[in-house]
Structure 1
Amino acid sequence: MSQLYGPSHRRLHDQFGTGPLADRLEELSHAEFDDADREFITNAPMFFLSTVDTLGRPTVSYKGGAPGFVRITGANELLFPSYDGNGMFLSVGNIAATANIGMLFIDFEHPRRLRLQGAAKVAAPNGHAADYPGAQLLISVQIERIFVNCGRYIHRTRERLSAHLPDENGQQPFPIWKRLDLMEGSLSDADQQKADAAGGIVPIMCYRGEDEPPAL
């Protein structure tokens, strides 16, 4: 029984032949931070936060700070500050009401992204005031799921768009991440043919991102 996919997802998996790949990616998701997650998050100067209000309406906001403003406080716990904003308190109010959140971390310089889902709580700075000068409130998050996401559609700048966008003929480079040994046996027949044509399996230790050739 999947903890991630429902009937609507499965219909799309069937339509596009991605069921085994989707299952593999769910298997690779995890509930505790690994070393790569920790390094990425603790060096991040920003992330996007999604929350849901009591009527089920989502909102997304940008959260920024000095690298390290998101602190990992446990195997599956983290903490971040809420600074002075526009006074609406949409994100914090939603968290206080419904708890469920999503977090998206993006590195635009070395295209990479990481998604987190969890349950959040609002707290006063209290003993953490010295760690977060200027913070009005702190948000603690119990992480439920961590996903590594393909970064091939991340634009470097407004002028330098991702080279992985489909061209005017709908053609685009085949993603390296689908060639990783971790994905072996999960691709559709069509994708497997493309992977073979692109050079076959790439060991995960050789993967340097979608914008760099594998270090074979």
Structure 2
Amino acid sequence: MTLPPPPFGSAGEHRLQQRLGTTERAARFYDQQVRPCLTPEMRAFIGRQAMVFLATADSRGECDASFRAGPPGFVHVLDDQALAYPEFRGNGVLASAGNMTENPHLGMLFVDFTHHHVGLHVNGVARLYGDTELRALHPTLPTGIAPGRAPELWVHLRVEEAYIHCSKYIPHLEPAPRPAGHSPARPKDAAYFTGSQRPAPVGAPYPSTEG
């Protein structure tokens, strides 16, 4: 008799759990920590976050990891089973959004580096909307996330599972003011990894920009 699959986790992770003898420990984690929707505590946590890491893959399974940031609440919780965040004009590549048009599965990782040092995984199915289109469905979407800029797209995520990323090894980071401009020793973004401008040697101090 073929048993039904467990409610959470991939077939690959369950096979590896059996191989390494962690099936019971993993089952406790699924039972105690993984939820099919956002709890009130998860919703409040997302509303406090100013950054999120994204994981997408195209139809061939080739992966891409990315990062989004904005003022707290830029990832807007619509209800306990859905959230949305804006996509603004960038380099025009649209790697993450492009992957979603082929493979709508999206993984999001929120990490609090400054206060409680804990993370939250949110996985689900994404759909792209235009700004006007999604606001017609959800008038409470935030405005003014990037002053003077309108979103090109919104990513809407239907939540399938959400669970904790434990605090072990999450570093403590101190918020710092953003500098007014780049240090002269720092190449501009477009040249940073292309070799057209050489970065300062590893460990070399940046020249002071103070008078």
TM-score between the two structures when normalised by the length of structure 2? 0.68
Name the residue aligned to 2:54: 49
**Which structure 2 segments of 5+ residues have no match?**
175-211
Deviation digits for residues 115-148 of structure 1 (CA, Å, limit 9, x no counterpart): 0110000010003687255211101110000011
5 Å matches for 1:70-109? Answer: 70-109=75-114
**Alpha-carbon separation, structure 1, partners of 2:111 and 2:11:** 29
* Counterparts in 2 of 1:66 and 1:157: CA distance versus 1, 3 Å: closer
Deviation digits for residues 172-209 of structure 1 (CA, Å, limit 9, x no counterpart): xxxxxxxxxxxxxxxxxxxxxxxxxxxxxxxxxxxxxx
Name the residue aligned to 2:198: none
**Alpha-carbon separation, structure 2, partners of 1:58 and 1:101:** 11
**Alpha-carbon separation, structure 1, partners of 2:23 and 2:96:** 34
**Alpha-carbon separation, structure 1, partners of 2:93 and 2:50:** 23
Name the residue aligned to 1:27: 31
Matching of residue 115 in structure 1 with residue 101 in structure 2: no
1:77 counterpart letter in structure 2: A
Computed over aligned residues only, the root mean square deviation of the Cα atoms, in angstroms, reads 2.1
Matching of residue 150 in structure 1 with residue 155 in structure 2: no
**Alpha-carbon separation, structure 2, partners of 1:5 and 1:142:** 17
Determine which structure has the larger helix proportion and give its number.
1
1:17 counterpart letter in structure 2: G
Contact residue 74 and residue 142 of structure 2 kept, 8 A:
no
2:13 corresponds to which of 1, 9, 17: 9
Deviation digits for residues 20-52 of structure 1 (CA, Å, limit 9, x no counterpart): 120011113111211210111011100001111
* Counterparts in 2 of 1:120 and 1:8: CA distance versus 1, 3 Å: closer
Matching of residue 138 in structure 1 with residue 132 in structure 2: no
**Alpha-carbon separation, structure 2, partners of 1:11 and 1:139:** 32
Greater radius of gyration (CA): 2
Name the residue aligned to 1:212: none
Identity fraction in percent: 28
TM-score between the two structures when normalised by the length of structure 1? 0.67
Contact residue 43 and residue 80 of structure 2 kept, 8 A:
no
Contact residue 17 and residue 26 of structure 2 kept, 8 A:
yes
1:124 counterpart letter in structure 2: G
| SS at structure 2 position matched to 1:94 | helix
| SS at structure 2 position matched to 1:4 | coil
Name the residue aligned to 1:177: none
Instruction: Give the Å deviation of 1:12.
Output: 3.6
**Which structure 1 segments of 5+ residues have no match?**
159-216
Instruction: Give the Å deviation of 1:17.
Output: 3.5
